[in-house]
Structure 1
Amino acid sequence: MALIAGDVDRFESARPRLQAIAYRLLGSADEAQDAVQETFLRWQAADVGGIEVPEAWLTKVLTNLCLNQLTSARARRETYVGRWLPEPLLAGDPMLGPADTVEQRESVSYAVLTLMERLSPNERAVYVLREAFDYPHREIAEILDITEAASQQIFHRARKHVADGRARADIDEAAARRIVEEFLAAATSGQTDELVRLLTRDAISVGDGGGKVPARTRAFEGAAAVAKFVRGMLRPAEAKRAIVGGSPEIYAWTANGEPAVVVAVEGRVVAVMCLEVTPEGITACRTQANPDKLERATAQWAAADHGEPLFVM
């Protein structure tokens, strides 16, 4: 059935919210966009005039498309080369969605997106809809075709799984950049002790190269090991320039609401390291270097006023 202009406008007004939900569910901007586009095609084919609550209808269609995608994604990740990490979104990306509350900011943080990989598809859906978008359990139950009591139970279970990870500090953008600047200064100072001081004793460092760029499969564990790795990673070398195709420029930025190190070569983002910060210190460094997962970040970077790099490798 052909849509009239008002029906298209109604969908477009819902698109930002749908994209934000899909990204949190899938951890991939490309897959989120595909899910939203498929939702539009379903909207286009539906008897829109007979849909009483368009927002609920669209959310249900999108969520179930994402649940199907998550099920197949788990199988694909079993054959993924190396460690799988979500696609980072740089500050200002509209797909980050609402950030008015601590819960909304937390739900899109790189740390929590990584932790949510532990959840089942249903747990992830309930957690995102309730925690990030404040859907009542009655509506979540209708979206997922479960009982309201089941939705409440799933949410409490999912929240516990996520809470079992270390609680991160809620910091603003200015503070995040100061943390990155201090982190980079320590990493390039030549004094390992300075960097170790910023890390928790059980800090980890993991990276996702997707088989496209070198990335260690196993995590570096412990402050000393992480500090040694980070210092080596930020040390200038011709071999590194050859891999990325130029001289990497290093910036302090934010991604997914967390402090982040952005590495760019001639305007192309080649790596984003997200720092998980807790009251005790930096507890995780997660680096996305798979070029397939940095295309959107590169587009956002091109549109941002990022100023001069802190240093060039």
Structure 2
Amino acid sequence: MTADRDLTARFEAARPQLGAVAYRMLGSIDDAEDAVQEAWLRLRGSATDDIANLDAWLTTVVARICLNTLRTRRARGGEELVEQLPDPIIDAAEDSDPEHRAMLADAVGMALFVVLDTLPPAERLAFVLHDAFAVPFDQIAPIVDRSPDATRKLASRARRRIEEANPVPDGDLAAQRAVVDAFFAAGRSGDFDRLVSVLHPDAVLRGDFGPGAGYRTKGASSVAELAQSYAGPEREVRVATVNGAAGAVIFVSGRPSAVMGFLVRDGRITSIDVLADPARIAKLDLGAVGPGD
């Protein structure tokens, strides 16, 4: 019994980090939780005396589960995967949940997940484990059935594609929020030219309204036309931090209807990701997003 309690305690201590790895790999809170739970079941069925480094063993197991999940998604989903936005994590100012804090660590908005979803599974795994969680390449290599040098090249290719997409927002969250506030103020006032002025000329808006109902438009004028609808008088905009970057939750008649994540770079909005899938919105804990937050 003492050994069981010790194993459980060690697993629970590792759970926040494991959840963060799985979330960054999969972009789904439910799938991340399933991966961590599957790792626990495998641990319970293993000869733990033979495990020299439990944290490394658990990370490897979770990574393998995530890799298989990504490959299954690719085989089944095709291009639809690119249109599905990740589950957003809404930051509460005084959140004390270690799993929640771990998932948000080093988060840089929803735009990064959109790029990650375009990567082949092995590239995504190599990049996430090495660049986000400092897992050495010789530990990653057996997971992707490559040599350490080949695994390093996988991460390098992923890093290059991410750098080309440049999904990292301006570093000052307050400055990001000022731009987002200006965006909604222009929308409420009906000042179309002002609304366009806060958008990058090549701004992109992606909308996820549910399975098979993805939408994408590009160009400041096109994005502005769509965005005006989110500032209508029947909609209440509540400021939020979404995956560590400036965002908002839109309420209609007191109920959340959409989560918006913004990518603000060089003082202008370069992309807007809108999750408006009713089923997924209903599953989010948005109680901490109060009026005036």
CA contact (8 A) 2:81 2:117 kept: no
Structure 2 residues without counterparts, runs of 5 or longer: none
The 2-side partners of 1:152 and 1:81 are apart by 26
Find the counterpart in structure 1 of residue 261 from structure 2.
274
1:263 to 234, 238, 250: 250
List aligned pairs for 1:237-256, cutoff 5 A.
248-256=235-243
Alignment-derived partner of residue 220 in structure 1: 217
Using a 3 Å threshold, how does the CA distance of structure 1 residues 66 and 295 change in structure 2: closer, same or farther?
farther
Work out the CA distance in 2 between the residues paired with 1:291 and 1:3.
45
**Alignment deviations for residues 51-110 of structure 1 (CA, whole Å, 9 cap, x no partner):** 11101111111111111111111234348599311111111474462666xxx334xx31
The alignment partner of 1:262 has SS state of strand
Q: Which residue of 1 aligns with 2:50?
A: 50
Aligned ranges for residues 293-312 of structure 1 at < 5 Å? 293-297=280-284, 299=285, 301-302=286-287, 304=288, 306-309=289-292
Counterpart mapping for 1:161-176 below 5 A: 161-176=161-176
Asked if the contact 1:23–1:95 (Cα under 8 Å) also holds between the matched residues in 2, the reply is no
CA distance in 1, matches of 2:34, 2:44: 15
* Cα offsets for 1:101-156 (capped at 9, x unmatched): xxx334xx311110011111110001101111111222222443421101111111
Please, which runs of 5 or more residues in structure 1 have no aligned partner?
Answer: 237-246
- The TM-score with structure 2 as length reference comes to 0.89
Displacement, 1:48?
Answer: 1.3
Deviates more, 1:121-130 or 1:77-86: 77-86
> 1:180-199 CA deviation, whole Å, 9 max, x = no partner?
22221111111101111100
How many angstroms apart in 2 are the aligned matches of 1:79 and 1:115?
13
1:1-313 equivalent positions in 2, closer than 5 A: 4-78=4-78, 83-92=83-92, 94-95=99-100, 97=102, 104-106=106-108, 109-211=109-211, 217-236=214-233, 248-265=235-252, 268-279=255-266, 281-297=268-284, 299=285, 301-302=286-287, 304=288, 306-309=289-292
Q: Residues of 1 paired with 2:227 and 2:19: CA distance?
A: 34
1:239 equivalent in structure 2:
none
Q: Which moved more, 1:52-61 or 1:1-10?
A: 1-10
Equivalenced residue count is 288
Alpha-carbon RMSD across the aligned residues, in angstroms, is 2.6
Cα-to-partner distance string for 1:275-303 (whole Å, 9 max, x where unaligned)? 11111511111101113333453x2x22x
- Whole-Å separation in 1 of the counterparts to 2:149 and 2:246: 38
Shifted more, 89-98 versus 13-22: the winner is 89-98
Amino acid at match of 2:272: C
1:157-214 Cα deviation digits (max 9, x unpaired): 11011111035333344333333222211111111011111001011111001149xx
TM-score w.r.t. the length of structure 1 is 0.83
Percent of aligned positions that are identical? 36
Q: Tell me, yes or no, if the aligned pair for 2:16 and 2:103 is still in contact at 8 Å.
A: no
